[in-house]
Amino acid sequence: MRLRGSFAIWRRDMLVLRRNLPSELVAVAAYPLTIYLAFGIGMKGYIGLVEGVPYGLFIAPGLISMTAVTAAYSESVWSLWFHRRVQFTIDSYRVTPISVSEIVIGKILSGFSHGLVKGLAVGLVIFAITPFRFPLEHLMAYLAFLIPGSAFFSCAGIICGTVMDKPETIGRVEAVFIMPLIFMSGLFFPLSSYPPALVPWVRALPTTALFEGARQALVGGVFPLVFALQVAVTALCTFVAAVWIFRRKMAE
């Protein structure tokens, strides 16, 4: 598969990000940092240790991962919706040799790049205000979760941006589906807090595999293979679905 079209789309989106980078970073960092200040600092005297570490350090890696993947989703869904419904950029692709797969891959690359930049910004701030640290050799195992996780969220954003015409509908999907999936995945509490009958169902969520696996990889240097395979398979399935749905939409 030729990826020249994908990189052209990626470069265009990166130029837009570069022009708006300061405001983008402030906006994206405000939410996870507010959560950290409210829970990681405000509640640490009441919660104490979680899985042997202070609560603030327990949620820190999850907040970094959450920032990255939600930025990937937001970039994909709003960028695709805007290009389809406002700028009509998608219509111009019909007269170019760019394939549907290249368009989707380009948006995945853009989403991951946005997520990486914004996750890094939040991570640097968390490093500055907390004692949270990790060995650099754990980074590759962490990226093995973050990359397919960002691809999964990017593909989900592409699907939503393709099939939804009203921006308020996109906002409802994020509020009703995306954020609950993130909060239910053990981002702010250990999975052992759930009733035993619910734990297998929660572990089956792709977001649980993403955040739990990423936390174990970054903090403990452990590579939970089952979680990694779950995230990778989910990303692949959503990619196939995004290409199929986008191709049908462009054919209308």
More confident of the two residues 118 and 84 = 118
d(CA 97, CA 67): 34
Torsion of CA 17, 20, 22, 23, to 10 degrees: -120
**Tell me, what's the pLDDT at 152?**
93
Q: Give yes or no for a contact between 17 and 28, defined as CB atoms under 8 angstroms apart.
A: no
Residue 193 scores a pLDDT above 70: yes
Whether the per-residue pLDDT at 54 is higher than 90: the answer is no
Is 32 a residue whose pLDDT tops 80?
no
Cβ contact 252:163 at 8 Å: no
Q: What percent of the chain clears pLDDT 70, i.e. is strictly above it?
A: 91
Lowest mean pLDDT among 27-36, 104-113, 211-220: 27-36
- For residue 120, is pLDDT > 70? yes
The pair of three-digit structure tokens given for residue 46, joined into one six-digit string: 């009441």
User: What local confidence, expressed as pLDDT, does residue 236 receive?
Assistant: 94
Contact 138, 217 (CB under 8 A): yes
Which pLDDT tens digit goes with each residue over 59-69?
888 888 888 89
Give yes or no for residue 56 having a pLDDT over 80. no
Distance of CA 13 to CAs 17, 113, 220, Å? 6, 10, 35
Q: pLDDT value at position 179?
A: 86
Model confidence at 209, pLDDT cuts 50, 70, 90, reads very high
Please give the pLDDT value at position 208. 93
Quote the CA–CA distance of 96 and 107 in Å, as a whole number. Answer: 17
Cα–Cα distance, 28 to 3 (Å, whole number): 29
Residue that is written with structure tokens 């592409």 in the block: 158
Residue 49: strand, helix, or coil: strand
Helix (H/G/I), strand (E/B), else coil: 50: strand
191 and 215 Cβ atoms separated by less than 8 Å: no
| Whether pLDDT at 1 is above 60 | no
